[in-house]
C-alpha cells in the first residue's frame, strides 16, 4: 500500500499521507534503521536516504508539552495566518494545504478548521533534494480544481521557502517566519511552537520519510501503534483558535549566513534529532524560563549546556541558537 489514508495509526491528523509505508519497526529497539545523531546534512543528498532517529521521551515530558499547547501567541499567529490566506483567496473551498511533513501537519489541521471547506494532505520535502514529485503529481491529479498552498510550521534560515521557489512552487505559508521568507505567515517573532516537540512516534505513527528513487513515493517505516499519543494530538486540535484575526503588516525579508541552527523551533528539532553542543539565548534566564521552558527541559535531558544574555544573536534576528557537535 503506497497511500495510507484510513489506517488509524498514520491518520492522527485526518490528512491523507502521500508516502510509501514499509514494515513496522520499533524505533527504540532497532536503531540500525536510523542515521546517527552526529550526522548532519553536508549537501550530499544521500543524507535523505536514511531517516533521522526518534528520541524516547517519557510521560512527564509529554505532560509538559500538553500544558504548553494553549499558547495565546501561537493561537494569534494561526489566526493571522488564516486571515492572510483568506484575504488572498476568499473561496476557501477551493484550497488544498500541502503540509510538509512533519511540522506542517498540525498547522494545516488548524488552517482547515479556521477556513471551512479547505482540505489538507501531507507529503515530504528535503532541502537540496526537493519535494516528493510523485506525491505532488498524485495530489494534482486527485484535486485538480484546488489551489495548492504549501504549509510548514516554521522557517529557520528560509531554506524550505527557497527550495519551493527554486522548484517554482508557490505560495508558501508558515506559522512562524522570523526571516520573512514565506508568502503568508502568522508572526515574525521567534516564538517556540510546542508542536516542534512532536515526534513521529508520538504524533504520526511512522518514521521520518526518506528518499528511495525518482519513480516512487518517499518511504517511511511504520511504528507500533501503542506509542502514539492520541490525546496529545486531540489536545492540540482542541486549542485551535475560534476565529480569524487582523493580518500582520508586510514582512521584511532577511538573510545572514551562519553555521548555527537558529530560531527556537529549529533549535528544538536539533535537540530532538541532532547533536547540539551548546544552546545560546539572547535573553536572561528569567525570560528563557518563562518562554522557552520546553527547550530547557530538552537541553537537560540531552545534557546540553545553555548560555544566556548573548546579545549578538540580535544580529541574526533570533532569540535562540545552537551549535552542533563536530
pTM over 0.85: yes
**Rounded to whole angstroms, how far apart are CA atoms 2 and 272?**
28
Q: CB–CB of 153/132 below 8 Å?
A: no
The CA distances from residue 77 to 167, 174, 191, 266, in Å, are 27, 10, 10, 18
Q: What is the pLDDT of residue 11?
A: 61
Q: What is the pLDDT of residue 138?
A: 95
**Rounded to whole angstroms, how far apart are CA atoms 67 and 69?**
6
DSSP tally for the chain: helices H, then strands E: 10, 15
Closest CA to 322 of 94, 40, 117: 40
3-state class of 151 per DSSP?
strand
**Rounded to whole angstroms, how far apart are CA atoms 131 and 100?**
9
Q: What is the pLDDT of residue 153?
A: 97
Closest CA to 70 of 238, 189, 295: 238
Q: What is the pLDDT of residue 247?
A: 78
One pLDDT digit (tens) per residue for the chain, 326 residues = 444 443 333 468 989 999 999 999 999 999 999 998 887 777 777 889 999 999 999 999 999 999 999 999 999 999 999 999 999 999 999 999 999 999 999 999 999 999 999 999 999 999 999 999 999 999 999 999 999 999 999 998 899 999 999 999 999 999 999 999 999 999 999 999 999 999 999 999 999 999 999 999 999 999 999 999 999 999 999 999 999 988 766 678 899 999 999 999 999 999 999 999 999 999 999 999 999 999 999 999 999 999 999 999 999 999 999 999 87
Residue 256, class by beta-carbon neighbours within 10 Å (0-12 exposed, 13-18 middle, 19+ buried)?
exposed
Q: What is the pLDDT of residue 46?
A: 81
**Rounded to whole angstroms, how far apart are CA atoms 293 and 265?**
12
- For the chain, which domains are there? 3-238 (3.40.50), 261-324 (3.30.1330.30)
Amino acid at each position: 500500500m503506497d497511500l495510507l489514508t484510513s489506517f488509524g495509526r498514520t491518520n492522527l491528523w485526518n490528512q491523507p499521507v502521500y508516502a510509501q509505508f514499509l514494515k513496522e519497526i520499533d524505533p527504540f529497539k532497532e536503531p540500525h534503521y536510523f542515521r546517527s545523531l552526529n550526522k548532519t546534512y553536508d549537501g550530499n543528498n544521500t543524507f535523505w536516504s536514511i531517516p533521522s532517529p526518534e528520541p524516547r521521551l517519557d510521560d512527564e515530558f509529554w505532560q509538559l508539552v500538553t500544558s504548553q499547547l494553549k499558547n495565546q501567541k501561537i493561537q494569534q499567529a494561526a489566526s493571522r495566518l488564516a486571515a492572510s490566506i483568506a484575504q488572498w483567496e476568499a473561496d476557501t473551498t477551493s484550497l488544498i494545504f500541502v503540509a510538509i511533513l512533519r511540522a506542517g501537519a498540525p498547522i494545516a489541521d488548524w488552517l482547515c478548521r479556521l477556513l471551512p471547506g479547505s482540505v489538507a494532505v501531507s507529503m515530504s520535502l528535503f532541502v537540496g533534494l526537493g519535494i516528493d514529485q510523485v506525491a505532488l503529481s498524485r495530489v494534482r491529479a486527485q484535486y485538480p480544481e484546488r489551489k495548492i498552498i504549501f504549509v510548514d510550521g516554521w522557517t529557520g534560515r528560509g531554506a524550505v521557502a527557497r527550495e519551493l521557489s527554486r522548484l517554482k512552487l508557490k505560495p508558501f505559508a508558515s506559522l512562524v517566519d522570523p526571516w520573512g521568507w514565506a508568502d503568508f505567515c502568522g508572526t515574525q517573532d521567534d516564538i517556540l511552537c510546542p508542536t516542534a516537540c512532536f515526534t513521529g512516534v508520538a504524533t504520526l505513527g511512522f518514521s521520518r520519510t526518506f528518499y528511495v528513487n525518482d519513480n516512487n513515493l518517499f518511504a517511511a517505516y511504520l511504528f507500533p501503534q501503542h506509542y502514539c499519543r492520541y490525546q496529545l494530538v486531540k489536545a492540540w486540535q482542541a486549542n485551535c483558535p475560534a476565529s480569524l484575526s487582523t493580518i500582520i503588516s508586510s514582512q521584511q525579508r532577511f538573510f545572514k549566513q551562519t553555521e548555527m541552527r537558529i530560531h527556537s523551533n529549529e533549535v528544538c528539532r536539533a535537540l530532538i534529532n541532532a547533536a547540539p553542543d551548546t544552546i545560546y539565548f539572547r535573553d536572561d534566564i528569567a525570560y528563557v524560563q518563562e518562554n522557552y521552558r520546553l527547550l530547557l527541559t530538552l537541553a537537560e535531558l540531552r545534557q546540553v549546556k545553555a548560555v544566556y544574555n548573548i546579545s549578538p544573536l540580535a544580529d541574526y534576528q533570533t532569540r535562540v541558537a545552537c551549535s552542533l557537535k563536530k
